[in-house]
Amino acid sequence: TETPDRNESVDLLALVAEEGARVDANVSGTPISITDDARMLRRLVRNLFENARHHGQGTPIEVTIKPPGISGATLVVADGGPGVPETERERIFEPFYRARTTTGSNDVGVGLGLSLVRQIAERHGGSARCLARDRQGACFEVRLRDGDSG
């Protein structure tokens, strides 16, 4: 097996825009290059987009990339679906946990996508969380640390 190269310079905005084109996401933000594992970052972004596509009920996926004020980047992915109840905002990151949909079913996926998002973010010195929104929908914030910053 091939060992991922964590010291690769990744244009995060370009990577997110490329993946966003697959799901017709609206991507905006600051061009930011971080030194990290491009393959794992791509997996993280795809999982966030797949989650928004499956649970956003066809609403636009809004993505923003911004510098966090320290070395690295912040990625925010939001949709206009039913959102995530406050009581489930931590549980959705547990492996195999599947939140119920508005129809009461939980038949989408196996419950690993968001767990992997958090694992990848944390493995690279960052974090992932689900935020409250002013309006309807889910909002995920992923903070990524630049692999060159320590």
Residues contacting residue 83 through CB under 8 Å, at least 6 positions apart = 133, 136, 137, 138
pLDDT tens-place values along the chain, 150 residues long: 444 456 789 999 999 999 999 999 999 998 998 888 999 999 999 999 999 999 999 999 999 998 866 678 999 999 999 999 999 999 999 998 887 654 444 555 678 899 999 999 999 889 999 998 887 899 999 999 876 654
Among positive and negative, which fits the CA dihedral 78, 83, 86, 91? negative
- Is 8-149 a CATH 3.30.565.10 domain? yes
**Domain range summary for the chain, segments of one domain joined by +:** 8-149
pTM for this entry: 0.86
Residue type, 6: R
Per-residue pLDDT at 67: 83
